[in-house]
Structures are given as C-alpha cells and as structure tokens.
Structure 1
Amino acid sequence: MTNLVQELFRLYAPLIVGVLTGLLLGWHLPPRFPDRLGKFLFWVGAPISIVVFLRGADLSEPVLLAPLIAWIALCTGLAIAWFWLKVLVPPKQWSNPMQGSFILASMLGNTGYLGYPVTLALVGAKYFAWALLYDLLGTMFGSYGIGVMIASRFSSSKIYQTQMPWQLWLEPLKKPVIWSFIFGLGFKRVSLPLPIDNLLHDLAWGILFLALTLIGMRLSQLSSFSYVKQAAIGVAIKMLIVPLAIGVTLSMLGINGLPRLVLVLQGAMPPAFATLVIAEAYDLDKELTVTALGIGSAGLLITLPIWLWLFAPT
C-alpha cells in the first residue's frame, strides 16, 4: 500500500501542477495562445519527446501486441456504446449528433498528451514503446479512420460525407509523430555523451509538462456542461469497462507485469480532446462531448488507483 501511495503521489504532483497551471494561464492569456501552444507541441514538442524517450524503450517483439490491444479496446468501446444506444436507450430519445458524440467518447482516449506522461511516471521509459505504439497505431488511426467514419454517419451536416474512406485512413500519415517515430528508431542506435543525453531527457520531460499545461488550458475553455448522465455513461464505458476488459484478457493470455499495466493505463485514459475536434468538424453534439471531457479528466484521479491496485506487479 505504501508503494502505491508513493507512485500515485509521484504522478499526481506533476499532473495536478501542470493542469492547474494550464487552467490559470488559460483564464488570463489570449484565447489563441492554447492553439499556438498546441501547434508547437504537435509539430515540434511531441516529435522531440518521442525521439528522446524511444532511446530508452524496449522494442522487443511483444511490443507489437500494443496496437492490437488498442484496436480491441476501440472496438470494445464502440460495441458497448452501440449496444447501449440500440438496446437500452428508448428509440429516438437521443438525436443522431448525440449518439455520435457518445460513441466517440466511449472509444477514443487521450493516449498521447496524457497517456505518455502517466505511463512514463508510473512505469518508466523502458516500456514507453508500448504506450507509443498503442497511441500511434491504435488511437491515432482509430480517431482519423473509424472515428471520422462514425462522425460522418451521425453528423447533422453532409458536407464531409463526400470523402472516400481511403482518404480518411491516410490522414494519420500526415502527422509528424509518425515520422518522428520512424526517425527515433534510427536515432536510438546513435551514441551520445551522457550530458547531452541527460539534457535531451530534461527537454523531453519539459515538453510533457507543457502538454499537461495545454490540457489545463483546454479545460479552462470548456464553458458548457450538459447531458451529465449521458456523458457519465460514455466515460464509464471508456474508463472502467474497457480497461477492465483489457486487463482481464491480458491476464488470461498470460501477459502480466509492467506491459499489462501500460496497456491497461492507456485503455483507461479519459476521452481525447480529438473527440471535440471531430465533433466540431462534423456537427455532432458538442455539449455532450465537452461534458464527457470534463468528467473524464476529473475522474482520472479516482480511477488510476484502481488500475494500479488491480494490475500493478507486486
């Protein structure tokens, strides 16, 4: 129990400080500042941190299991949300845009800006590749592939429905994190003097703190919280049922230890801010999406101890 408390304190301290810093800055800085910081992290910060943390990551063969588990998690969230809407919800009680936002909140997690620092703080850089591949080949392709297809299916606007499916699936290939991962695989073999290596790690951790700050800034811009009950159901699917299913399945397959914990933690991340981007682009229910983001971000502090207690190696 003492080790669990220490691990949580080591994580919660920078997590809370970073998000609170972002909240305070978001309330006082110009509204465009988070967008500029987001672009910096997207094009420069995140690629640098990926390259740096890959240097200490274990890339042995089992790591390729991570994207498979990510897709299983995505499909599980989608299936449960679909079952809820089609079987347990009275017909026509929810509009199409509400249903689309509900499904996205149930399946897409913040496995990048939030999943990376959580994994690194609790597990360390050795298993960072598991979290990275879960995000890059799972969540990212899921968001811009099946996520966008779902959004277009439930959208109140027809403007985006002219896109061909192959165009949607190619969208993640335009993201710099994909190419930074490929570069990082080669850079991993480059030997660097210890002071420079330490400097790069300090830089990468600073970038992750900026990512937490950006999350706080984004949260400071959320002003409308409606459909609490509906959003809470989607968050429960995403943050409770899906990670529990991942953990139990991996245990049954004989996959234990820190790799299992990393995959459970990634599966337990709250709804991604990408769900709001997609909801805005495809005219889904933004109020439901915003509410799910707020509930999920706050709920992470409550759910993390559960997964450490259940699946952290003793």
Structure 2
Amino acid sequence: MTNLLELYVKLVGLVLVGFILGRKLPTAVPTRLGRFLFWVGVPISIVAFLRQADLSGQIWIAPAIAYLAMLLGASLAWLAIQGQVHFTKTIPQQSTQGSLILAAMVGNTGYLGFPITLAMVGQEYFAWALFYDLLGSLFGNYGLGVALASHFGGSIGNFKQIAQAILINPALWSFGFGLMLRQVTIPKIVEFYLDKMGWSVVALSLVLIGMRLSKLKSWHKLPQVGMSLAIKMLLVPLVIGIALPLFGVTGSAAQVIVLQMAMPPAFGTLVIAETFNLDRDLAVTALAGGAMLLLVTLPIWLWLF
C-alpha cells in the first residue's frame, strides 16, 4: 500500500506538472520533448535498466502473450460491434469501428507501462515489460494495427514506410545494444549516472503524457468508447491473467504481464487514426478516459495478482 500511494503521488504529480506545462508552453515543446525521448531518452533508459534485469526463465513468452492479448482485444471489440448492430439495428461508421478496435487492442506499454512496472515490481523484472513492449506491442501496433486501420479507414497506407519506421526505431537498437552491454564491466560512477539518467527519462515520460493529455479536448464520445476500455483494461487482463500459470508464468513475472496488458490505449493509436482517416475524436477520448480509469484499475490488478 505504501508503494502504491508513493506511485500515485509521483504518477499523478508528474502528469499534472506536464498537464500544466502543456497549457502554458508553446505547442512545439511537447513535440520536441517527444522526439528527444524517442531518439535519445528512452534508448538510454532501456540500456540502463536492462543491465539490472533478470533474463532467466521463460522471458521470451512475454511477446507471445502480448500478441495473444492484442488479438483477444481486437476480436472481442469486433464481436461487441456486431452485437451492437444486432440489438440496436444501427451500424457504426467504418472509421468508428476501426478506432474502437484499435483502442481495445494496443496499450501504452512503453511511456506508461515502464514506469509503473519499475515502481511496483522493480528493475529485476523490467525485461518482461521490455520484451512485451518492444517485441509485442510495437509490432502489433504498427503491423496488425495498421492493417486494420487501412481496412476500416478505406485508405491504403505505405507499408514500406511503416516497415522502415519499425526497423529504425531506436528503442529496438538500444535493446540489442543493452543486451551486449550486459557482458561488459563499466566503472561504478558511469553505472551510477546511467541509472540516474534512466529514472530521469521515466519522469520526463510521465510529464510528456501530461502535456499530451492537456491537448485532448474531446469528451462527447466517452459512452461509446466505454466498451473498448472495458475490453482493453478489464476483460483481457482478467482472462489472460488467470490463464498465465498455464504458460508457466507466475509471481512477479505474471504481475508485470498483467500490468502491461491493463495499460490504457496507446498514443500510437491516435497517430494511426489520423493517418488512416479513422474516428479521431473517439481515439482522443479513449486516451484520456483510459488514463483516468487506470487510477481505479491499477490497485485491483495489484491485489488480484
């Protein structure tokens, strides 16, 4: 309980700081901060925390569970849409259907999932969250997510550019570099400052989330997006979380996986929605609603698992 309260103070405090700064500072500031974190900050934090992570056990199953969670979320969202069509005799627009499925499928396992995992479970199991995000969510978002968006948005995306975006992702390269650096002995003072830089990036990531939330002004589709949030943040983590022992995943490793599955919709879903002409207002509402719902669901998952 003490750890959870401390997390809430830091989480809400840093996001609130970002929210206030986002209202005061020029629009270009969060964009530049996002680029800095993407190209420099997050890769440094991955190298820093990966040095202290435990890579033993069935860690390679984490991406497989990520794909399972995304497929289950997308399937349940599609079934829910079909149920709505059957009972209400109304058919949502294709663009709205695409945004609903994306919101139920891909979570914010990086900028939000990493700091929560580090705070509640510790650096030893950080690799589970890392594998889940970089080898699971990343490819699910820009692979399956883009394919779905292209279908529901009625536009054909440049899949060559998408493949290039994945391959040049600095987080993936720093992941490989961090694995190699684990075998190298570095001076204590360097390791000390590397660790401090890693935690500084975590704080900046939360500030950036606040900045981006300050730009979200659409709430009128909250009732409509409730279905996707219930699937993404409640049903999928519960169903797969209960089944994790069948995959040999228990204890702290299972807690990390459940926390990653329970994260709110990713900011990447908004980028995809804008690129492929999906329902942007619904995507925006899903981001904001999911971030607030997390404050309620987080202690539930920590208690259950």
- Is TM more than 0.5 here? yes
Amino acid at match of 2:4: L
* Aligned match for 2:22, one of 20, 26, 30: 26
> Is 1:294 aligned to residue 299 of structure 2?
no
Aligned to 1:9: 5
Contact 1:246–1:263 (8 Å) recurs in 2 = no
Aligned to 1:125: 123
> Is 1:74 aligned to residue 70 of structure 2?
yes
Q: Which moved more, 1:59-68 or 1:42-51?
A: 59-68
Question: What are the equivalent positions in structure 2 for 1:204-243 lying under 5 Å apart?
Answer: 204-243=198-237
| Superposed displacement of residue 251, structure 1 | 2.8
Q: Which moved more, 1:8-17 or 1:129-138?
A: 8-17
Aligned to 1:134: 132
Question: What are the equivalent positions in structure 2 for 1:1-314 lying under 5 Å apart?
Answer: 5-89=1-85, 90-156=88-154, 158=155, 161=156, 163-164=158-159, 168-169=162-163, 171-311=165-305
| Superposed displacement of residue 168, structure 1 | 4.1
1 CA distance for matches of 2:174 and 2:223? Answer: 40
2 CA distance for matches of 1:88 and 1:147? Answer: 22
**1:231-259 per-position Cα deviation (integer Å, ceiling 9, x unaligned):** 11101100001111121110344421000
- Structure 1: any 5+ residue segments left out of the alignment? none
**1:138-175 per-position Cα deviation (integer Å, ceiling 9, x unaligned):** 1000011000011111115x3xx1635x7645541121
User: Do the aligned partners of residues 55 and 232 (structure 1) sit closer, same or farther apart at CA in structure 2, a change above 3 Å counting?
Assistant: same
**1:253-303 per-position Cα deviation (integer Å, ceiling 9, x unaligned):** 442100000000000000001111111111111111111111100011100
Amino acid at match of 1:229: P
2 CA distance for matches of 1:219 and 1:238? Answer: 19
**Equivalent position SS for 2:158:** coil
**1:182-211 per-position Cα deviation (integer Å, ceiling 9, x unaligned):** 000111122122232121111110011000
Q: Given the two structures, how large is their TM-score scaled by the length of structure 1?
A: 0.93
User: Do the aligned partners of residues 204 and 232 (structure 1) sit closer, same or farther apart at CA in structure 2, a change above 3 Å counting?
Assistant: same
2 CA distance for matches of 1:66 and 1:91? Answer: 40
2 CA distance for matches of 1:41 and 1:31? Answer: 16
1 CA distance for matches of 2:157 and 2:255? Answer: 41
Contact 1:141–1:172 (8 Å) recurs in 2 = yes
Q: Which moved more, 1:177-186 or 1:84-93?
A: 84-93
Contact 1:53–1:201 (8 Å) recurs in 2 = yes
**Equivalent position SS for 2:146:** helix
1 CA distance for matches of 2:76 and 2:92? Answer: 16
2 CA distance for matches of 1:233 and 1:86? Answer: 13
Contact 2:84–2:90 (8 Å) recurs in 1 = no
Question: What number of residue pairs does the alignment pair up?
Answer: 303
- Structure 2: any 5+ residue segments left out of the alignment? none
2 CA distance for matches of 1:121 and 1:192? Answer: 25
User: Do the aligned partners of residues 162 and 272 (structure 1) sit closer, same or farther apart at CA in structure 2, a change above 3 Å counting?
Assistant: closer
**Equivalent position SS for 1:209:** helix
Contact 2:58–2:249 (8 Å) recurs in 1 = no
Q: Say what the alpha-carbon RMSD is for the aligned residues.
A: 1.4
Amino acid at match of 2:299: P
Amino acid at match of 1:40: F
Contact 1:114–1:269 (8 Å) recurs in 2 = yes
Amino acid at match of 1:65: I
Q: Given the two structures, how large is their TM-score scaled by the length of structure 2?
A: 0.96
Amino acid at match of 2:219: F
Contact 1:235–1:296 (8 Å) recurs in 2 = yes
2 CA distance for matches of 1:253 and 1:62? Answer: 9
